[in-house]
Amino acid sequence: MRKLAAGNWKMNGTRAALSELEALAQAHPTPSVDILICPPATLVQPAAALLADAAVAIGGQDCHMARAGAHTGDIAAAQLADAGATAVIVGHSERREDHGETSDVVREKANAAHDAGLIAVICVGETLAERDAGHTLDVIGAQLAASLPETCTAANTVIAYEPVWAIGTGKMPTLDQIAEVHGFLRDTLAARFGDSEAAGMRLLYGGSVKATNAAEIFAVANVDGALVGGASLREDDFSQIISALQDAL
């Protein structure tokens, strides 16, 4: 499988930020890993148009579970695809927390993404209280069971492990803890979808990933890339993470 460096811009960026994407594409004309940037919805179409001939793909940060309808302010997976997106993040902890999204909702959103021909980047992760209580694998197992639809394949699904307490805090699990969770993810996926599909599903780590720690994270077994937040906003920062991933091949 090809490794994946994915960037989640969250609620950051205006059209002026497209210059960072142009610089990113110029810095990596023929990368040996896949590169995905998920900008805010307002930038999906111009970003996809700008990078139409580049090796940097564009994705959305969320989609509605319905194909269309009376859902003011929401965006359908088909609309993202029409704008040029090839993937969409679903189930990010900020959506689960800020908008009360359950794993059942995440599953329906992933289904909608698949129906629209998009790769679903499905996020799972525990809170600090859950980790301290020793419930990390139980929480993640339950999220996987409920968040992943039966339509998941190695081609249309990426799993991102993002400990809630590590996102944007500068804190992160130990390498052994990352290895434990990613090994659990692989085994759980194999039990449900079969060894072949599970072996091809990319497992990303996310949560305070930056240039200074990327190399050691990518050396961990079953880590197939990263879902990066703030460090993906600038080309020079994200390029160092991409280079670390390429060096890990």
**Looking at the annotation, which residues are catalytic?**
92, 162
Q: Write out the two tokens for 164.
A: 């809630």
Q: Write out the two tokens for 248.
A: 């890990």
**Helix, strand, coil percentages in the chain from 3-state DSSP, rounded to 5:** 45, 15, 35
- Give the angle 192-248-8 at the CA atoms, nearest 5°: 65
Would you call 53 exposed, middle or buried from its count of C-beta atoms within 10 A (0-12, 13-18, 19+)?
A: exposed
| Token pair 């111009």 in the structure block, residue | 46
User: Residue 26, Cα to own-chain centre: how many angstroms?
Assistant: 23
Q: What is the rounded CA–CA span in Å between residue 100 and residue 80?
A: 22
| Token pair 């996102």 in the structure block, residue | 167
Q: Contact, 216 vs 175, CB < 8 A?
A: yes
User: Residue 242, Cα to own-chain centre: how many angstroms?
Assistant: 15
Q: Contact, 237 vs 210, CB < 8 A?
A: yes
